Every structure is written in C-alpha cells, then in structure tokens.
Structure 1
C-alpha cells in the first residue's frame, strides 16, 4: 500500500541536495536492494509567482503570457520529485544521477494565480546498459484533475541490479539541415540555476564542475529542452506531448546547432555539436487533438 506524505510546501533544492550528498557517501545500492520506496509526496495549493514566471520566460525565450510554460511547471514541481530521491530508502545515490530523458503530457494549460497540487513518486527501477535507471513520475492537478504529467528518467552509472538491460544502444545520429544556432555563454548555467533553484555545482562554474569531473560547467538539460519547446512556440497548442532524450552534455561556453521542424502531426527538434556531429538532445512536440 502506497504511503502518502503531505509536505507543508515545496522543499528547497539546496537542502535536498545536501541530504542526498550525505546519503550518497554511505548509501550505494546494496546487494538485494531492488525495490523503490512505496511512497508518494504531495504538496497542495502551489501557486506561481509573477516575477519568477517572467524571469523564466525571458531566459528560455517563451512569450509573455499568464499561462505557465510546460518547462516552468517542471521547475515548480521538480523539488517534490527530488524529495523522493533524497529519502534514505531510495536505492540509488542522488549525487551522480544522470538525466537521460523527459516525457511531459500537458492536458491543459495552467494559469498564473491558479493553485495546483503536485504529486511525485518513483517507478520502474530497471537495468540499463550502463547501470540502473529509474523514473520519477510527477503529476500536477487542479481541482483533482491532472493537467500536467512528467516522467523524468535518471541513470545511476555502474550500479548494476539483477536482470538484463532491455534497452538497446541509440540509433546513430545523422546531423540534419540546421534551422538555427544557440550561443550559450559561461553564465548560462548560473542564470538557469537562479530561475530553477537547481544549483548543482556542475552547472555553476568551471572550477566547481572540474571538481566533479567535467572540463567546464555544463548547461542544464531542461534549459536546452525548454528552449527547444519555446522555439516551437504557439504552434504546440494548449495540450501536447513533449519528449526529449539527452545525449552529450553542453559545455559552457558553447554553441548548439539546432533543427526545429514540422514532422507529421507535430514537430521534432535536435541540438548537436557542428564540429563533431555528436548530439546533445533530440525530441518532439506533438499537439493533442
């Protein structure tokens, strides 16, 4: 039976990361530790702040509106999912988790000033060719009806559970004809951190990123995904599926060559390194009928 934990408010990411770091030192997955905590975290009556929304819109290129972009809803709900990962009985170390993919279904837009509830849980702990992956499932509801649902998939490298990985290596990426280019300066990570609250050191400076094994700071994956969504713009409609798979991290400063184009009933997007031809992210936005 799932235990529901009602939090008094959206927790701060700083405290969650500190707790997760302390647990990660001594809490690697153990032989026989194959289950996720059967718990859901809930925060009720969350509302967006107008200045916060405006700062997000300016940063990722969303148009000015009282409607909350799907990426901004992720920002507001993300700490609740992180609280699940920061539990002592969560079987993967929070520090070092790699964000592999995001799947969002927006069923209706959320408006500034409308209170909503956030519910988060972990699901589907499973093998991956490089370790163990898990989904963090977050739902945002208004008056008991789900308006937004996000599934974030994370990987713990080198952590091997029982079983055989069913996922195959991704198809080779062939760079398409570009439609644009993003020039990201060294402060991109710090600006998104200020808006999102996600102040992971790998995003903040070359010095802090080097301490964690990166040659320079890297852009937040959800910054690049949200920027692609913003580039699709109003053509996505009010209800849509938004998917993104992350490949290589974007080192800062850096340039991302981009293609965003209509495909079938929706749009596909990709960002890659023009010199190496290696992808940073690929995804799609498909309006719902």
Structure 2
C-alpha cells in the first residue's frame, strides 16, 4: 500500500487533468519507477442525472443500486489524477486498457456516500510495451464494498525483465446471441458520461493520429454493456473479469453471447465481430461466496 497520498477535496475536472497529461507526455520516458503514491477522495455522492445518462449509454436500467462499472466511472478521475502526476512515468495519451476485473462485495446504493482510492503497481514487460496494474477500492464508511484491477498497456515503452510468451487461451463462448449495431459516435457518447476523452475513442481522425486505423469503443463501455445485458441475473456479490482482446471498431456490428455456468450465478460471455466471428472481448462473472 502506498505511503504518500493525494487527498482530493472534490472531483477533479477531467478536461483539465487530460490537458495537463497531454502537455507533459513528451517528458514521460518510462525510465522512473512507479511512484509510491495513492489518490484518495472521501465524501463522494452520486449525481442522479449523471447516473441516468451513463445508464442510458451503457444500457443499464436506472435502479437504486449502482452498476459495478459505475464505480469504475467514479474512480476514473482519481486514476487520471494519478496518471497526470509528474511522478508517474508513463504517458496517458495512447495508453490501452487490456483487461478489467471488478469485485462487488455487495450492492452499493444510490444514496450511499463513498470513499474511493487508487494506485498503480507491478510495472512489467509486455510484447508491445509496458503493462501496469491500477488498483482501486471503494468504501462505505470503513466497509470495503468494491474493488477494481485495471491493466493498462503503455505502447512503445520499455522496462527491464523478460517478456512473457503469448499463451493461446483458445476461443471463448460462441453460438446464437444478440446483435448490437454500434454507431460511429459511440466513443463520444461514452466520453460524455465517463470523462475519458482518449483520442483513440473520439474519431477515426484522432485515432489515426495515435496509431490506430480507426476509432475504437472504450473497453469500459464494452464491459458495462455486457453486464447490463445480464443485469437482472447477476448475483448480489460477484467478480467480473473482462479481457479486451481486439479493438471494437466503431461504427460496427457485434454479437453478444452469454452462457450460464450453472446454479452458482456464473456466466461466460463473449463479444464478437458479426461478419468475421472474431472474439473481441471475453468476459466472465463468478459469484462471491
């Protein structure tokens, strides 16, 4: 656990945080170690209108319980503050979200006041750069109610160590599923409810400037939409893991497949390119006991 803490009195304005991160990107060479630094904010309450807009874009019903992905949405400004800090060695712009694991220890109510915190650890080699674990936690009072583990890739960066071999994990679930047509402005829609204005999501032109052939959907939109499709069938306490295996290009058409894993509330999920059948996102839900 980091010993140095940035205590936020209010939620930072993400546009300013991103502007600062962009301005300092050239100076981030990846040569320094990850900082012994945590970002924390207490007294967080949920804005009902902001939640309703998020739910609309991600296809959740508006309930008195927060989607587990919305807790990630609330902690993202803290993550961005961490990434923009001058001690953080890797540039925010052009980073790629590889996977995301969320643990919901119990449903979090719309009316509950939250304390959120986040920090980074375990920088290690990846065949395309450096990957880092970003840990997040959510509390109601002293009770741990939610946890997140996001793995980010910083392309083109280098760090000492052996690059792990690529492991063939086979193919995920397939078969009949729901057809989703994703509009070209989906990245901009999600950016308005999440604050994540990474250029790779905003337009084909800005994505190409970052080395991508076209715009891609946010990984957190994919995770949210996949969980929203199962919303009424999710356990009260669960762990969900998503691997963002290939970019979900927008506009595009995808197929969502979900198979129940038995009586324990588990699910296996897959998001696939409709024409090619390529697996884009692989997900799972496991009930906490």
TM-score by length of 1: 0.93
Aligned residue runs from structure 1 range 52-67, under 5 A? 52-67=50-65
Supply the RMSD in Å over aligned alpha carbons.
Answer: 1.6
1:152-176, CA deviations, whole angstroms, 9 ceiling, x for partnerless residues? 1001122221111335334243662
CA distance in 2, matches of 1:278, 1:238: 31
User: Alpha-carbon deviation of 1:97?
Assistant: 1.1
2:5 maps to 1:4: yes
Cα distance change, pair 149–185 in 1 and its aligned pair in 2 (3 A): same
Does residue 19 (structure 1) correspond to residue 20 (structure 2)? The answer is yes
Number of residue pairs aligned between Structure 1 and Structure 2 = 286
The equivalent of 1:286 in structure 2 is 286
Q: Deviations over 1:75-120 (max 9, x none)?
A: 1111101211111111222122110000110001111121110111
String of CA shifts for 1:18-76, please: whole Å, max 9, x gaps.
1111221122112xx3x211011110100111111111222212122111111111111
Change (3 A) 1:143 1:124: same
Q: Distance in 2 between matches of 1:96 and 1:206?
A: 14
- Are residues 81 and 67 of structure 1, via their aligned partners in 2, closer, same or farther at CA, if it must alter by over 3 Å? same
Q: In structure 2, the residue corresponding to 1:11 is in which secondary structure? A: coil
- Residues of 2 paired with 1:105 and 1:204: CA distance? 29
Within 2, Cα distance between the matches of 1:136 and 1:99? Answer: 10
Give the match for residue 227 of structure 1: 225
Q: TM-score, normalization: structure 2?
A: 0.93
Displacement of 1:151 in angstroms is: 0.7
Asked if 1 retains the 8 angstrom alpha-carbon contact of 2:173 and 2:259, the reply is no
Q: Does the Cα contact within 8 Å between 2:103 and 2:146 map onto a contact in 1?
A: yes
Cα displacement string for residues 118-146 of structure 1 (whole angstroms, at most 9, x for unaligned residues): 11111111112222110111101001111
Partner of 1:268: 268
Alignment of 1:118-267 (within 5 A): 118-166=116-164, 168-173=166-171, 176-264=174-262, 265=264, 266-267=266-267
| Structure 1, 67-76 or 205-214: larger mean CA deviation | 205-214
